[in-house]
């Protein structure tokens, strides 16, 4: 039997920002729901042109039909953007709906996701732990994605932290794909300890695979540019850019 572990503390809200991820989001949602780790699963469909939102609903409905009568399922929440606003704003809008003590962000294009990966990211935030955040990095997956995160683990989209610790983060509207870099700096400046967790045999679909070589390459360059601009601003900023 699977479903939310009723007695588990802290409670965790899962937030999945997604743009044109109909091919992979169903399996990501299935693993999350069957893990029994989450109070709620929130998908932010960031202006997708495909059936990302519908796939989310259909997957959850199928899992509800398969569940035993006494199973406690996580709450389902879907946010739909009329147009693509970017990853940072998708994360922000998911966070605004979250009610768990801990929020976890994961990408919708993960391949090879297992409940163990999610559990290992939550574990460092258990009671009495010195850590209040975790950052998941690929390990032993595909060479290209694992190597990229070995070089720059700070850009990983897999992370968890206490929701209250993000209350003063206000840089959502200006960072785009640089949101991970901005969040890392925000946590560091507040002396919030982050545990790096290796996610064995996990990878994701690369942009060139989703959109074709040229469009995917251009999308990747846009992502790197936004990350670089966020990093550059943080280097020359005289005050925390994530602060109000």
Give residue-wise pLDDT tens across range 15-42: 999 999 999 999 999 999 999 999 999 9
Tokens of 170: 């206000």
Residue 5 lies in a domain: no
The answer, yes or no, to whether residue 235 has pLDDT greater than 90, is no
Task: Identify the three-state secondary structure at position 231.
Answer: helix
Residue 95 lies in a domain: yes
Domain range for 213: 12-236
Residue 241 lies in a domain: no
Considering the chain, what is the average pLDDT of its residues?
84
Tokens of 64: 């509800």
Residue 242 lies in a domain: no
Residue 25 lies in a domain: yes
Q: What backbone phi and psi angles, to 5 degrees, belong to 84?
A: -70, 115
Of the candidates 49, 46, 152, the one whose C-alpha atom is nearest the C-alpha of residue 92 is: 46
The answer, yes or no, to whether residue 195 has pLDDT greater than 70, is yes
Cβ contacts of 2 within 8 Å, gap of 6 or more: 33, 34, 35, 36, 67, 71
Residue 18 lies in a domain: yes
User: What single DSSP character describes residue 242?
Assistant: T
> How many other CB atoms are found less than 10 A from the CB of residue 9?
10
Residue 244 lies in a domain: no
CB 233 within 8 A of CB 182: no
Looking up residue 206, the CATH number of its domain turns out to be 3.90.550.10
- Give residue 127's pLDDT: 72
Count Cβ atoms within 10 A of the Cβ of residue 113 and give its class: 0-12 exposed, 13-18 middle, 19 or more buried.
Answer: buried
- Give residue 153's pLDDT: 57
Residue 156 lies in a domain: yes
Instruction: Give the lowest-confidence range in 50-59, 76-85, 122-131, 157-166.
Output: 122-131
Cβ contacts of 112 within 8 Å, gap of 6 or more: 141, 201, 202, 203
94-150 residue pLDDT tens: 999 999 999 999 999 999 999 999 999 999 998 767 899 999 998 876 555 555 555
Counted domains in the chain: 1
Question: In what helix (H) or strand (E) does residue 233 lie, and over which residues does it extend?
Answer: helix 213-236
Tokens of 151: 């070089």
């Amino acid at each position: 039997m699977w479903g939310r572990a009723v007695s588990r503390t802290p409670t965790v809200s899962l937030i999945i920002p997604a743009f044109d991820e109909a091919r992979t989001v169903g399996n990501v949602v299935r693993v999350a729901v069957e893990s029994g780790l989450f109070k709620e699963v929130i998908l932010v469909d960031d202006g997708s042109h495909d059936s990302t939102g519908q796939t989310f609903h259909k997957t959850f409905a199928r899992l509800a039909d398969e569940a035993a009568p006494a199973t406690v399922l996580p709450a389902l929440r879907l946010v739909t953007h009329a147009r693509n606003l970017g990853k940072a704003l998708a994360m922000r809008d998911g966070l605004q709906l979250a009610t768990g003590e801990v929020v976890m962000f994961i990408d919708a294009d993960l391949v090879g996701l297992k409940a163990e990966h999610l559990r290992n990211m939550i574990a460092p935030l258990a009671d009495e732990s010195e850590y209040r955040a975790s950052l998941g990095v690929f390990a032993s997956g595909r060479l290209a994605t694992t190597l990229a995160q070995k070089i720059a683990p700070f850009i990983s989209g897999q992370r968890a932290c206490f929701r209250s610790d993000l209350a003063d983060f206000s840089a959502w509207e200006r960072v785009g794909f640089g949101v991970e870099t901005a969040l890392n700096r925000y946590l560091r400046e507040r002396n919030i300890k982050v545990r790096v967790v290796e996610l064995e045999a996990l990878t994701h679909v690369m942009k060139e695979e989703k959109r074709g070589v040229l469009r995917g390459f251009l999308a990747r360059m846009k992502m790197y540019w936004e990350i670089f601009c966020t990093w550059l601003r943080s280097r020359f900023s005289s005050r925390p850019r994530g602060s109000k």
